[in-house]
Amino acid sequence: MSNTHPSLGFRGLALATCLFTWLLIGVGGIVTSQGVGMSVPDWPNTYGYNMFYFPLSQWVGGIFWEHSHRLMASLVGLMTLILTIWSHGRSGRSLLRYVILPLSILLTFLVLINAENNTLQHASITGGTGFIALFASFFWPRMKPASKLMRKLCWIALIMVIGQGLLGGLRVTLYKDEIGIIHATLAQLFLVLLVAIVFVSSKRWIGWKAASKDNHTVTNRFSWMMAALCVFVVCQLILGAFMRHEHAGLAVTGFPLAYDQYLWPPTHAEFVNQLNVDRMDHRDFNPVTALHVHVHMLHRSMALILFIAGSLFVGWTLKYLGRQHLLGRLSILWFSLLCLQAFLGVATVWSNKAADIATIHVLIGALTLALGSFMVIAARRSVFLAKEASAMRHREMPSDLIPTPEVAVAKG
């Protein structure tokens, strides 16, 4: 069966899933910034209710944000599942009938046997999912499947979003900050994957221009340098996730000085103990430790390194690709986001870690990584197409015109 380019509906759903994931990261940021991650202490239930039956009248305070985060995550999971099935074209009918339906029947059976409370609520969700899947299978469009690459990306996304849901649940049931850090990091990588799906599903993917002969080497170097910067951004986001989930964002309260030090503040036990005694913020945060101070300062140092490396990278890109080149313009936008992100980091400290500023800081960080990843994929696509075009020209060239090693040596 031949493949077809994804339809407008598929591309729209992919873009919507990407945008909702970015917003979901923002809602997760609010939950962490306000320290309300345990406002709903049970999972997968919400105060004993099936989460989809939780009364609106009880959506108050921190419960509103934590419960909204769970529902948005469920929506993103559903959208990812639909994308995965859709990528298989007409074969999606079989997936709905012979995979989703049996799974829903099995889950309903397990619910009826094991559920202690609100059994009908849970069974209606699991059983209803199977009924909807069966009904949808009769009307599923009879189209050709998407490319093998697209199907693989969608399946990876589905596995990741399921893993994200389980990590989010374990963060609540086990009450482990370490799980929250992994959960936050995986969310960023999931967003990057969705950016790839959006790009591969777009018409631009097919019509993307190959790197010109003059720019081939430059574009190749651009992709690897941008990839290295993205790795640095991921490391920075991991440090940020550690600070947020350990509530170490104010382990160092001043900027640009760090407790009157230009470089690194002291971290001996007496100094750290005095920090905890002198804290003016009485919110329920963990005591500051030497590790918190080190991670906070490492986060600042990484930000400075990224700023310097980013500025050099943009200068190099504009020199060799020019401002008119798409990658040149995108590099300027990326560096602008990086500068905004640095300012928001400073503002977070100056504002005593105001929840709104800290959340915007998270959102811009995710956007910086997403744009950088898109630039890497776009550059690699240009290089790949250039190599493919060169190989095709070589195959089509008459054999008597292809230079042999002897001829090349003679010319030399």
Tens digit of pLDDT for each residue in 343-373?
Answer: 999 999 999 888 899 999 999 999 999 999 9
Nearest CA among 283, 24, 69 for reference residue 172: 69
Nearest CA among 356, 363, 351, 360 for reference residue 255: 351
User: Is the separation of the CB atoms in 1 and 145 below 8 Å?
Assistant: yes
What are the backbone angles phi and psi of residue 210, rounded to the nearest 5°? -70, 150
The reported pLDDT for the residue numbered 238 is 96
The reported pLDDT for the residue numbered 285 is 65
pTM of the predicted structure, to 2 decimals: 0.90
The reported pLDDT for the residue numbered 408 is 46
Separation between Cα atoms, residue 249 and residue 281, nearest integer Å = 12
Q: How many CB atoms lie within 10 A of CB 291?
A: 14
The reported pLDDT for the residue numbered 348 is 92
Low-confidence ranges of the chain (pLDDT < 70): 1-4, 280-285, 393-412
